[in-house]
A and B are shown apart, each in its own frame.
Chain A
Amino acid sequence: MNNFKQLITNNIRKFGMIVALVGIVVIFQILTQGILLTPLNITNIIMQNSYVIILAIGMVLVIITGEIDLSVGSVAAFVGAIAGTLMITWELPVIPSIIISLLVGAVIGAWQGFWVAYVKVPAFIVTLAGMLLFRGLTMVVLNGRTLAPFPSNFRIMSSEFMPDLLNGGSYNMMAIIIGIFAIIVYVYSEFRARKIKAAFNQTELSYSLFLTKVILISVLIGLFTERLAVYAGIPYILMILVALIAGYTFFMSKTIPGRHVYAVGGNEKAARLSGVKSQKIKFWIYVNMGVLAALAGLVFSGRLNAATPQAGNLFELDAIAATVIGGASLTGGVGTAIGALIGALIMGVLNNGMSLLGVGIDWQQAIKGLVLLGAVAFDIINKKRNG
């Protein structure tokens, strides 16, 4: 039991997030009389928040290095406009258009990274300028009009579901199989990690607690895919999100550049004196953010089936809020991709739940503001108490 207590205090932030998410889900499930967790609505929540999750993954890296990016909403809109011009006006094929759009995102990221990392203009200013610049350019490219509709195969990525190759009747068998596969992969990786840690006496959890955790998460994955299978199956965007989360989690925790990102954010001077090339790290973090902002722009315009001048308005704030709620620290050095995901889901479920209850957009904004403040205040008070 002591073990358990220790575990909670050591990971209060992590648990706090998950508890908050579960709490919010339970509250809205009750308040909406079960609508929240209907198959249709779960699918909606994923699709509606996919672009914020993509942005939050990029943003968490930026914030870990101790910087900020206010331009991601405008960049997403700009890339959406470019994609619209390529596919709708010029009628270019989909795949090359997507590649060009992502490259545009990379170039924009490199532009901002150059000013932040090498000229050392404060990131707040560089990306505030970027926010205005790319919003303006979006309107220039679109000539103030909306471009629509996109070719239908462009929309697969953002709005379509994986086909049920196995034809399972009322259940989408494809989804079930992917769900089972996901559980197997998850359980295998947990046991493997534990085995490695056990070899060095590094296990944090007692065996029973470990088992409980693995079973709980497996059941969650199972229930989740069951819900999706009842509706239309697994959306392609979910696969993209899972791949991004897994890839970035691996990058951030297991690779040399990933370690360097945390080191630069934790203490840039010490990192530099340890041979870490902090400027290069920051530059590439912005390039990465640019590419992810471009991807978010593509997904958003695909969902909307239009490139509009006002796309992506205030996305930057959603992304920043998600990462901060998810445990990232604006002073740098702390944060995870999973945290950003949970933060984005907390915001997403709040939005969705309040919409279902018929709460107006005015009160939604206000409540989201308070949640953000509360989450960060909780963290700071908690840190102070622990010394």
Chain B
Amino acid sequence: MSNIILEMNNITKEFPGVKALDRVNFKVEKGEIHALVGENGAGKSTLMKVLSGVHPYGTYDGDIVFEGETCRFEEINQSEAKGIVIIHQELALIPELSVAENVFLGNERAKKGIINWGETTAETEKLIKKVGMRVNSTELIQNIGVGQQQLVEIAKALSKRVKLLILDEPTAALNEAESENLLRLLLEFKKEGLTSILISHKLKEVLKVSDHVTVLRDGQTIETLVNDDTLKEDRIISSMVGRSLANLFPERHATIGDIQLEVKDWTVEHAHLPGKKIANNVNFHVKKGEVLGIAGLMGAGRTELMMSIFGQSYGKVKSGQILKNNHVIDVSTVDKAIKQGLSYVSEDRKEYGLILDDTIKKNVTLANLTTLAKGMTIDEGKEVNVVEDYRNKLKIKAPSIEQNVVNLSGGNQQKVVLGKWMFTNPDILILDEPTRGIDVGAKNEIYKIMNTLAEEGKSIIVISSELPELLGTCDRIYTLNNGHITGDFMVDEADQEKLMTYMTADGSGKK
């Protein structure tokens, strides 16, 4: 094993309240394509950020050896200077600049600070040809498609004399032909001796191009598999999801009633790309007292679907109806949705859930101030009572309800958001990744709260990337892919492999 190009040993990285990486070991051979797989939140992206210096040396434990040399990157420039280039899932291109300007951004061909446009253009043209693009080097990024943009990123990487190319979900936004092209390109580069790390959810692609597959789970390295002809998708999936559920999930005794909410023929267009449907003729329902799971990979349209139902807060609704207790209801604004008994706890509590610089008190009561007011004036005594009550019920750990939520841990922040929506007294509570980034103890408490609410006859809809969580908490699970519902399972007939299969099904209903 003398031809190891990269060795990451015992990498541990902690964020406040969570251990994102726990003694991870990762080895890449020179000239191979090494796939890195794992569920959302398994630690893949964090590991790559440690490698590229986004998380600088000193913020993690363990060491990185690249080409036999121990590296301590403090910023991205230093890792790039060694030839490690990462292409993130969200492309880092400037839409208003041309292809050539983007390719050499931060790495300009210049003499004494004056850009040599001749050289820039000539080299860009060369790179464009190499990556198989069909656009002019003067074309603006905003005028070319996502597939072509991905290639610009690769051209940019090549211009930096890359030795190790890291691609984070490069084909997530690409169509099949574009994906094919990209993978072919990777194989060509491999022949020229370039080493690549490919992060992907699409296991078919992984099996097609990679030499080794390393599986991460819960921030730990599970195993590294050799991709010979015998390696099958199922084998990787079971490695990705297999974990003991222990006593994380409280026991559930469901009493399920009639249908409470029904969504019919729901079609929604993307917020910025007219014509792209992020929910396509979706039909589903949830019953009283039921905990319903929505399973899907990142980008499947789970969040977008639920946000479009909650007051059309995402995209443009093209068609469809929403019925509550068999009556069509108007939920065209958030205000109306709340009045109709809907609540939505966002997956991104900092961005969409909380006013970080405000107190626990003000956050909890924000969505339902009218019940605390006489006329327009807020009854502060009543407000304090209500919030104290939720603080006790939800076990929010804070010295006072006047504490700003920015100072709370993730789990306690999540409880504040939950409290806010419980206070609106919803009949249907939608929870989007309710346990993301919070510790096990807090997870367990949140599951218990979900059970209690369901027992009160409320309908709970849970979106989660963690399949064990869905299997452990839900009564019924829908799978979603590409804006389509692809499956509907009672929990006792579902397992992780089955769900994963339907989550990656092509959306027309067949596998």
Asked if A256 is at the interface (CB within 8 A of a chain B CB), the reply is: yes
- Rounded to whole Å, the gap between the CB of A305 and the closest CB of chain B is 39
Residues on A with beta carbons closer than 8 Å to the beta carbon of B346: 270, 273
- Interface flags, A247-289, vs B, CB<8A=1, else 0: 0000000111101101100110111111111000000000000
Per the bound structure, the CA–CA distance linking A255 and B369 in Å amounts to 9
Number of A-B residue pairs with CB-CB distance less than 8 Å in the complex they form: 81
Per the bound structure, the CA–CA distance linking A254 and B374 in Å amounts to 11
Residues on A with beta carbons closer than 8 Å to the beta carbon of B120: none
Residues on B with beta carbons closer than 8 Å to the beta carbon of A263: 355, 358, 362, 366
Contact check, A333 vs B355: say whether CB atoms are below 8 A apart.
yes
Contact check, A333 vs B357: say whether CB atoms are below 8 A apart.
yes
Contact check, A334 vs B357: say whether CB atoms are below 8 A apart.
yes
Contact check, B358 vs A333: say whether CB atoms are below 8 A apart.
yes
Asked if B70 is at the interface (CB within 8 A of a chain A CB), the reply is: no
Q: Which range holds the interface residue count of chain A? A: 20 to 34
Per the bound structure, the CA–CA distance linking A299 and B237 in Å amounts to 74
Contact check, A270 vs B362: say whether CB atoms are below 8 A apart.
no
Contact check, A259 vs B388: say whether CB atoms are below 8 A apart.
no
Residues on B with beta carbons closer than 8 Å to the beta carbon of A333: 355, 357-358
Asked if A363 is at the interface (CB within 8 A of a chain B CB), the reply is: no
Per the bound structure, the CA–CA distance linking A204 and B359 in Å amounts to 15
Contact check, B362 vs A262: say whether CB atoms are below 8 A apart.
yes
Q: Select which of A196, A256, A269, A277 is within 8 A of B369 by beta carbon.
A: A256
- Rounded to whole Å, the gap between the CB of A251 and the closest CB of chain B is 9
Q: Provided the pairs A262-B355, A266-B356 are in contact, do residues A276 and B366 lie with their beta carbons within 8 angstroms?
A: yes
B330-380 with Cβ < 8 A to chain A: 334-335, 337-338, 344, 346, 351-358, 362, 366-367, 369-370, 373, 376-378, 380
Contact check, A274 vs B366: say whether CB atoms are below 8 A apart.
yes
Per the bound structure, the CA–CA distance linking A259 and B381 in Å amounts to 16
Residues on B with beta carbons closer than 8 Å to the beta carbon of A334: 357
Q: Provided the pairs A270-B351, A274-B366, A275-B367 are in contact, do residues A254 and B356 lie with their beta carbons within 8 angstroms?
A: no
Asked if A381 is at the interface (CB within 8 A of a chain B CB), the reply is: no
Look across to chain B and name the residue whose beta carbon is closest to the beta carbon of A199.
B381
Per the bound structure, the CA–CA distance linking A276 and B367 in Å amounts to 7
Residues on A with beta carbons closer than 8 Å to the beta carbon of B385: 200
- Rounded to whole Å, the gap between the CB of A278 and the closest CB of chain B is 10
- Rounded to whole Å, the gap between the CB of B257 and the closest CB of chain A is 27
Residues on A with beta carbons closer than 8 Å to the beta carbon of B358: 262-263, 266, 333
Per the bound structure, the CA–CA distance linking A27 and B385 in Å amounts to 46
Contact check, A202 vs B402: say whether CB atoms are below 8 A apart.
yes
Per the bound structure, the CA–CA distance linking A275 and B310 in Å amounts to 10
- Interface flags, B375-400, vs A, CB<8A=1, else 0: 01110110011001000000000001
Q: Select which of A254, A259, A260, A273 is within 8 A of B334 by beta carbon.
A: A273
Contact check, B380 vs A254: say whether CB atoms are below 8 A apart.
yes
Look across to chain A and name the residue whose beta carbon is closest to the beta carbon of B345.
A273
Residues on A with beta carbons closer than 8 Å to the beta carbon of B311: 273, 275
Asked if B420 is at the interface (CB within 8 A of a chain A CB), the reply is: yes
- Rounded to whole Å, the gap between the CB of A97 and the closest CB of chain B is 31
Contact check, A270 vs B354: say whether CB atoms are below 8 A apart.
yes
Q: Provided the pairs A199-B381, A200-B384 are in contact, do residues A275 and B338 lie with their beta carbons within 8 angstroms?
A: yes
Question: What are 28 A-B pairs with beta-carbon distances under 8 A?
Answer: A202-B384, A254-B378, A254-B380, A255-B373, A255-B376, A255-B378, A256-B373, A257-B376, A259-B362, A262-B358, A266-B356, A266-B358, A267-B356, A270-B351, A270-B354, A273-B334, A273-B344, A273-B352, A274-B366, A274-B420, A275-B311, A275-B334, A275-B337, A275-B338, A275-B367, A277-B335, A333-B355, A333-B357
List B residues at the A interface (Cβ < 8 Å). 310-311, 313, 334-335, 337-338, 344, 346, 351-358, 362, 366-367, 369-370, 373, 376-378, 380-381, 384-385, 388, 400, 402, 420
